[in-house]
Amino acid sequence: MVTEKTFPHTRGLHDLGGGAYAWLHGPGMGGGTANAGLITNGGESLIVDTLFDLDHARAFLEAIEPITAKAPVKYVVNTHSDGDHIYGNQLFGEDVDIIATEAAAAKMFQSTVDLFVATTVSGEEPGSYFAPIKAAYGAEFDFRAVRVRKPNVTFSGRKTVTIGALQVELIDLGPAHTAGDLIVSVPELDVVLTGDLFGAGIGTPVCWDGPLDRWIEAVDVIRKLDARTIVCGHGPILTGDDREKAYDSVTEYLQNTLDAATRAFNEGRSVLEAIEYSPYYGKLPNELLLQNTSIAFHHLDKRFPKPQQEEGIFATALLAAEAAQLEKFGKDEAK
């Protein structure tokens, strides 16, 4: 039996071997605490995702500078359109190609950054309605200098790029978590970087686009690649038993959420009633369960509106804060 290497879930750069590296945010799973990756070979480098603000992106780039000084960055790959994976794009020169799926590129907006700036700054005011958003997304991040740089290379389906002698496969698996998710597979190194399609220890998966069954299929594709090392968009690097358990747990959550939503829909229930059908109701954040169930309802019947991603991001933060206040009120009443 081969013992697979494990990696600590600590902040910083982790050498996966063979020219593959993962940059982990480390413990502390607040909104936007994303990971990034580096693939290097033959004097060239490819970066996967660029984090949530310029300070975090610069810290990553400083950590890899001893490597990229000898192997300059040729490509940046954005796994999807969420800000915590793209807001460092502007730090790269025009000679660096930024790659994403066509669907992801179409969802990258400066207006989302502006909304983050407005709400996190307003959230600093005592008693502000936006304080939960400041707590969820703005406590660690500063968006004021972010200018969205969109990809200049887009694709659908599959795309292969070469880094030195390495073939790096970009596989479009969206829509799922978002409208345009991709994964990065490096078969020669036995490494896959999944963006937010997969992970463990990351809290509840949240679906901004769906459908959920497409996401389930995406996880199955990742599993069948049979890579030894999985670098997720958030949380720890997965190998061995942890990797296999994560395949099961993510699939189970998505399937159970879809099944509960479908049952409630067929019985004529509302979305709010539907979340109570879930085995995760009251055990995992109900505000995310509501988001995921709303997406499931939309794909069952397009007459149900699909929450826009920006609305979902801020609504889930506000709902989480409301739930915390209600819990505190209940405890105070019990005293």
Q: Is residue 5 part of a domain?
A: no
Distance in angstroms (rounded) separating the CA atoms of residues 119 and 106: 23
Is residue 4 one of the residues assigned to a domain?
no
CATH code, 193: 3.60.15.30
Residue-level pLDDT at 211:
97
Task: Give the pLDDT confidence of 2-19 residue by residue, as tens digits.
Answer: 468 899 999 999 999 999
Q: Which of 31-40, 69-78, 153-162, 202-211 has the lowest mean pLDDT?
A: 202-211
Residues spanned by the domain of 172: 13-334
Residue 50 falls inside a structural domain: yes
pLDDT at 326 over 60: no
pLDDT greater than 50 at residue 35: yes
Instruction: Classify residue 136: in a domain, yes or no.
Output: yes
Give the pLDDT confidence score for residue 325 in this predicted structure: 47
More confident residue, 43 or 309: 43
* Ramachandran angles phi, psi of 117, nearest 5°: -60, -50
Q: How many CB atoms lie within 10 A of CB 62?
A: 10
* Residue 88, φ and ψ in degrees, nearest 5: -95, 5
pLDDT for 312 equals 55
Evaluate whether residue 7 is within a structural domain: no
Say how many domains are in the chain.
1
**6 in a domain, yes or no?**
no
Q: 227-271 pLDDT, tens per residue?
A: 999 999 999 999 999 999 999 999 999 999 999 999 999 999 999
* In-domain check, residue 3: no
10 Å Cβ neighbour count for 127?
Answer: 5
Distance CA 23, CA 233 (A): 10
**CA–CA distance, 127 with 7 (Å, rounded to integer):** 41
Per-residue 3-state assignment (H helix, E strand, C coil) for 145-188: CCCCCCCCEEECCEEEEEECCEEEEEEECCCCCCCCCEEEEEHH
pTM, two decimal places: 0.91
Q: Is residue 322 part of a domain?
A: yes
Peptide bond into 175 cis (omega under 30): yes
